[in-house]
Amino acid sequence: MTDCEPGRPLPTIDMLNAPFWEAAHDGRLVVQQCAICGGHEWTPQLVCSACLSGTLVWTPVSGQGEIYALTIVRAMQVEAMPPPYVVAIVLLDEGVHMLTNIVDADPQSVRIGQRVEIAFVQERAGISLPCFRPIGNDAGIDSPLRSSAGGGP
């Protein structure tokens, strides 16, 4: 994990999402899975959106997927995140969509359908933000948002 400049927006942690943020702090990506129908949920929910069961459990996921949609932010929005950077929706292999940043890549090289993997970014207050980076030869090294996947250099 890599430290970022202070000032990035941080999540509000509550009873519903605390297990997610605890796992992220440990370098693990988890989502809720229904114990009845097996469906995955993201964002955190009280009941399964498929069968309405209240038996959702936090389950580790692969941390891999593909970029479903993206935009390149070119104007300063937050001082600690200098443009350009990529905001994307990643479709995880488990079937859920996550809104995230794409890191460790030249923003111009990022494309819809590109394979990505989890890359946690260490922030202040012990928060690890789940970002994604391209898998394979597509990765660039000029991203302003540098990171490393759970435990890697």
Give per-residue pLDDT as tens, 29-86.
999 999 999 999 999 999 999 999 999 999 999 999 999 999 999 999 988 889 999 9
Q: What's the mean per-residue pLDDT of the chain?
A: 88
> What is the C-alpha to C-alpha distance for residues 115 and 65, in angstroms, rounded to an integer?
6
- All structural domains of the chain, each given as residue ranges with its CATH number in brackets, are 18-138 (2.40.50.840)
Backbone conformation region of residue 38, classed left if phi is above 0, alpha if psi is from -120 to 50, else beta: left
Tell me the pLDDT band of 144, cut-offs 50, 70 and 90: very low
What does the block give as tokens for 9?
A: 């927006």
**Are 92 and 31 a contacting pair, CB within 8 Å?**
yes
In sequence order, the 6+-apart residues with CB closer than 8 A to the CB of 122 are 1, 2, 3, 4, 128
> What is the C-alpha to C-alpha distance for residues 125 and 7, in angstroms, rounded to an integer?
11
Tell me the pLDDT band of 125, cut-offs 50, 70 and 90: confident
Q: H or E segment at 90?
A: strand 85-92
Prediction pTM value: 0.83
For residue 2, the model assigns a pLDDT of 45
For residue 150, the model assigns a pLDDT of 40
Please report which residue ranges of the chain form alpha helices under DSSP H: 18-25
- For the purposes of burial, counting CB atoms within 10 Å of the CB of 142, is it exposed (0-12), middle (13-18) or buried (19 or more)? exposed
Q: Is 138 helix (H, G, I), strand (E, B) or coil?
A: helix
**Are 134 and 106 a contacting pair, CB within 8 Å?**
no
